[in-house]
Structure 1
Amino acid sequence: MIKVYYIKYRGKIWGKILITGASGNVGQYVAKYALQNGDNVIVAARNIEKLTLLFGQEVNKVKFDFADTTTFEPALENVDRVFLMRPPYMGDYHDLIPFIEAVKQHHIKLICFLSLMGIEHNPIPPHYKIEKEIKHLHIPYSFIRPSFFMQNISGVHALEIKNFNRIIVPVGNVLTSFIDTEDIGKFSARILHEPMNFQNTAYEITGPEAIGYNKVAKIMSEELHRSIIYPKLNSRVVQRYWTEIRGLDKKYVKVMGMLYFMTRRGLAKRTSSTYYQVMGEEPTNFRQFVKKHLRSWQ
């Protein structure tokens, strides 16, 4: 059981939260719940127009690009907490090192890094080395290690479900403890709201149950009122399909392939009660998620 130790403070002593990837699946929810918590938030992304559409005119926004070091200092001004998310298109951990080093110079109270479930035992994905670098630089951290995003089903895999009633994922009958990215965002915002209470921690968070893609197809069939199937496909065939037919970026496909390799090894089937212990509520289950996002596949 996880123990959370609270330290009392007189008044608010921390400043702003910089949220990288704020226009993405997780980042937008981190921002949403950080704002609800009353925190001073700066949302960051390469596309300011998209940030404006998501958050309106009143939320502080900054143009930010991990590949452009000139965007670091304006983004980090008066910031004492950072939500760090590796962009899907960046498969090389070296690409994030300059920003992490810039964070070090700002004496941050907490960097909340969105990592991967089971990453402490798997040095292949870039998240492993990113965690190591943050520790090496002695930056106070909290590593959020979620299981597979439910939003992968409503995002990158939605095209096949919507148009061909098929789920194209190369994991066979292995179970996955899917988690809703909104729950990840809410959880991360809680960590960032109380930075001194969560320094140098790592949390593995999952949904309430582990299910196979056959059950995913069954639930979606019931909620969409049409037959969704899950064909068993070889991982190489699927990766060729993603690259040659779908036209997905090769670096993105490589990272996705590594993640599904981890799933096939059974590293995504564990469930944890961490979310409930920290948040005091149950995470979203897969049927609830499908009901909430029906339009993604209609």
Structure 2
Amino acid sequence: MKILVTGASGNVGKYVVKSLLQMGLPTVAAGTNIKRLKTEFGGKVDFVMLDFQDQHTFSEALKGINRVFLMRPPHLGKPEDLYPFIDAMKKENIQMVCFLSLMGVESNPLPPHHKIEKYIEHVGLPFAHLRPGFFMQNLSGIHSKEIQEKNEIFVPAGNSRTSFIDAEDIGLSAATLLQQYNQYQNTTHTITGSESLSYYEIAEILSQVSGRTIKYVKPSILKYRNHYIQQRNIPKAYVHVTVALYLMTRLGTAKHITDDFFRLTNQQPRTFREFAQSNQDIFERVNT
């Protein structure tokens, strides 16, 4: 029997696959772009087409599978988009679904992850909900454009603090839960980094690492929304989910630090400075 990793070419999914392979576990990488998956992993894993909006892909994707890493694709803003696949997993008697959720989502019904968690529990699937803090890769990914082009962190988080975690650490956590699925059935895990930083402190670290002045400009929610939809052409559904998250962040929901990562892996999480140093090339200035 094998472990299915959805979103296998994404920020977290690729690290789940790599950690599972390091553990010697047979793994199937799933996604809608098989060519991209083969480029990422070569012949190290099996590949399968999986489109949450096409139920005809479910049967083949779940063939010979007994555990699943499940993540919501960013472009699917409605929790109901994942319900048919969750139903399919239930019919196949999946032994464990590790769902990539969000920190604090158990008391925050706004993000779609809240209802997805509840639905997994409702249908009776054995689960391990993984609730990470904000990804460090948010800054090297979606938010890197403003850093590269304007020396600005354009995030509507106000004066809040965030306990960032590296996606590689999230991947290791998920792989551990899937490896030891009997021990972790029907559990929840909030994983964070070891420090809670303001975006002003993040800007200072990036300035020190890059050798140039990077500022946190603290945009309003409305200004951020308009910029990402109108100037960046990011889909509205994705932007609205991030707006909900940053609204909660302003209320202090992202600042808490836990030791769940250490308890799962017996390792210390990566610091943001370590992450910035190893990804220094991503944060280099780009002239427009």
Alignment of 1:63 onto 2:42: no
Counterpart Cα distance in 1 of 2:132 and 2:109: 16
Counterpart Cα distance in 2 of 1:163 and 1:232: 17
> 1:261 deviation in Å?
1.0
Aligned counterpart in structure 2 of residue 188 of structure 1, from 165, 169, 174: 174
The share of aligned pairs that are identical, in percent, is 46
Alignment of 1:130 onto 2:121: no
Q: Deviations over 1:230-251 (max 9, x none)?
A: 1121110111010111111111
Moved more, 55-64 or 204-213: 55-64
Alignment of 1:18 onto 2:37: no
Partner of 1:245: 231
Question: What amino acid does structure 1 have at the position aligned with 2:141?
Answer: G
> 1:266 deviation in Å?
0.7
Aligned counterpart in structure 2 of residue 161 of structure 1, from 137, 147, 162: 147
Aligned counterpart in structure 1 of residue 92 of structure 2, from 90, 106, 119: 106
Moved over 3 A (4+): none
Question: What amino acid does structure 2 have at the position aligned with 1:210?
Answer: S
> 1:158 deviation in Å?
0.4
> 1:140 deviation in Å?
0.3
Counterpart Cα distance in 2 of 1:40 and 1:57: 12
Aligned counterpart in structure 1 of residue 210 of structure 2, from 179, 204, 224: 224
Question: What amino acid does structure 2 have at the position aligned with 1:262?
Answer: M
Partner of 2:62: 76
> 1:58 deviation in Å?
3.8
> 1:277 deviation in Å?
1.4
Aligned counterpart in structure 2 of residue 270 of structure 1, from 248, 252, 256: 256
Is the partner of 1:239 in helix, strand or coil?
Answer: helix
Counterpart Cα distance in 2 of 1:140 and 1:174: 35
RMSD: 0.7
Question: What amino acid does structure 1 have at the position aligned with 2:71?
Answer: M
Question: What amino acid does structure 1 have at the position aligned with 2:111?
Answer: P
Question: What amino acid does structure 2 have at the position aligned with 1:33?
Answer: S
Alignment of 1:206 onto 2:192: yes
Aligned counterpart in structure 2 of residue 44 of structure 1, from 30, 41, 46: 30
TM-score (structure 2 length as normaliser): 0.98
Q: Deviations over 1:203-222 (max 9, x none)?
A: 00000010000000000000
Question: What amino acid does structure 2 have at the position aligned with 1:208?
Answer: S
Counterpart Cα distance in 1 of 2:214 and 2:37: 34
In structure 1, the gaps of 5 or more residues are 1-14
Partner of 1:28: 14
Counterpart Cα distance in 2 of 1:102 and 1:167: 41
In structure 2, the gaps of 5 or more residues are none
TM-score (structure 1 length as normaliser): 0.94
Partner of 1:3: none
CA gap of 1:150–1:195, structure 2 versus 1, over 3 A, is same
Counterpart Cα distance in 2 of 1:75 and 1:123: 30
Is the partner of 1:35 in helix, strand or coil?
Answer: helix
> 1:57 deviation in Å?
2.7
Alignment of 1:171 onto 2:178: no
> 1:173 deviation in Å?
1.1
Question: What amino acid does structure 1 have at the position aligned with 2:109?
Answer: P
Partner of 2:107: 121
Is the partner of 1:296 in helix, strand or coil?
Answer: coil
Is the partner of 2:131 in helix, strand or coil?
Answer: strand
